């Protein structure tokens, strides 16, 4: 259903507000560069600091701007089940192709709590959903067995796996079946994830080097592993530099250097340090130039 290079899109700001013009321009750039799908208001889109109105506005703007040319997987997660239901219903209402629902952060639910959370969200709207498993940020890790239970529900169609555990796609395929869509959420291991059964990546690096990320994923899917590996090696300086400080500050700085948006982030995130700027500049010179 979803495959290739899917960008975890930043939310551009200008003078503290969402920059709608830059947002639309980013969508057009990604489509022109070959990005295979767009995820607005995920972690990289600074969803925790957007108001509900801003969150919904960004999703609606991206759906309108893509106009069906690539899939839109709307960030729709929360540590409140009630709030996640509202976000998923809105995404379905405005025509998103799917929702990306993160495991509830801070609350630390049990595996049964995770199952009931996702089942409740699933039952609330007729929209394909991907589980976003990112234990490094949410502090809970969905076990493959729990994901297997969820995969029995008709609209739980896949996972964004940001564990960087390369055994996961094999374990999840056994639990969920071969038709379950497995997307990496970690750029540095994205190609290796594909080798274990994945079909693409929801990528931070694609914000900055969309064409190369798309070519790398397409090479793998087209049966050209050596070409995919060569491209992944070229991208590694960016994969590393874009996480030298809290994401998405490095990515927004890189985009500002490319003239795509400002480097503004919202507190508690802060702009990239001088040392971080040097690291990102060096990666840009090596990869993007």
pLDDT tens digits, 158-177: 999 999 999 999 999 999 99
Tens of pLDDT, residues 246-260: 999 999 999 999 999
Residue 31 confidence class, pLDDT cut points 50, 70, 90: very high
Q: How many residues does the chain have?
A: 289
Report residue 28 as tokens: 């057009």
Distance CA 53, CA 256 (A): 25
Tens of pLDDT, residues 65-100: 999 999 999 999 999 999 999 999 999 999 999 999
Residue 228 confidence class, pLDDT cut points 50, 70, 90: very high
Which of 44, 177, 173, 160 is closest to 101 using CA atoms? 160
Q: In what order do the strands lie in the sheet with 37-39?
A: 37-39, 4-8, 200-203, 181-184, 156-161, 129-133, 98-102, 73-75
pLDDT of residue 14: 98
Alpha helix segments (H runs only) across the chain: 20-33, 52-66, 81-94, 111-124, 135-138, 144-151, 168-176, 190-195, 210-221, 225-241, 249-257, 274-287
Tens of pLDDT, residues 110-159: 999 999 999 999 999 999 999 999 999 999 999 999 999 999 999 999 99
239 and 257 in contact (C-beta within 8 Å)? no
Residue 1 confidence class, pLDDT cut points 50, 70, 90: confident
Mean pLDDT of the chain: 97
Neighbours of 146 (CB within 10 A): 21
pLDDT of residue 288: 81
Which of 276, 274, 250 is closest to 263 using CA atoms? 250
Distance CA 181, CA 151 (A): 10
- Model pTM? 0.97
Residue 289 confidence class, pLDDT cut points 50, 70, 90: low
99-134 burial, b if ≥16 CB within 10 A, otherwise e? bbbbbbbeeebeeebbbebbeebbebbebbbbbbbb
Catalytic residues: 132, 160
Number of H-type helices and E-type strands within the chain: 12, 10
Which of 52, 58, 99 is closest to 77 using CA atoms? 99
Which of 42, 134, 173, 49 is closest to 96 using CA atoms? 42
Q: Which domains does the chain have, with CATH numbers?
A: 4-223 (3.20.20.70)
């Amino acid at each position: 259903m979803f495959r290739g290079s899917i960008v975890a899109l930043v939310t551009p700001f200008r003078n503290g507000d969402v920059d709608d013009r830059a947002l639309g321009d980013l969508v057009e750039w990604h489509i022109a560069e070959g990005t295979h799908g767009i995820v607005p208001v995920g972690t990289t889109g600074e969803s925790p600091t957007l108001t509900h109105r801003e969150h919904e506005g960004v999703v609606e703007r991206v759906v309108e701007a893509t106009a069906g040319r690539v899939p839109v997987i709307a960030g729709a997660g929360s540590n409140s089940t009630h709030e996640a239901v509202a976000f998923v219903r809105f995404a379905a209402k405005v025509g998103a192709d799917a929702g990306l629902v993160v495991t509830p952060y801070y609350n630390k639910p049990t595996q049964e709590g995770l199952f009931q959370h996702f089942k409740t969200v699933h039952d609330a709207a007729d929209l394909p959903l991907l589980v976003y498993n990112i234990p490094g940020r949410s502090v809970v890790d969905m076990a493959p067995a729990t994901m297997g239970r969820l995969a029995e529900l008709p609209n739980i169609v896949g996972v964004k796996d940001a564990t960087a555990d390369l055994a996961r796609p094999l374990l999840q395929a056994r639990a969920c079946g071969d038709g379950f869509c497995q997307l990496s959420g970690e750029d540095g291991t994205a190609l290796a994830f594909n080798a274990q059964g994945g079909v693409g990546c929801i990528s931070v690096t694609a914000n900055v080097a969309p064409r190369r990320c798309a070519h790398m994923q397409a090479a793998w899917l087209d049966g050209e592993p050596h070409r995919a590996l060569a491209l992944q090696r070229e991208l590694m300086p960016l994969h590393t530099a874009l996480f030298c400080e809290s994401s998405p500050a490095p990515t927004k700085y890189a985009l500002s250097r490319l003239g795509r948006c400002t480097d503004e982030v919202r507190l508690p995130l802060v702009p990239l340090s001088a040392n971080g700027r040097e690291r990102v500049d060096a990666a840009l010179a090596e990869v993007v130039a």
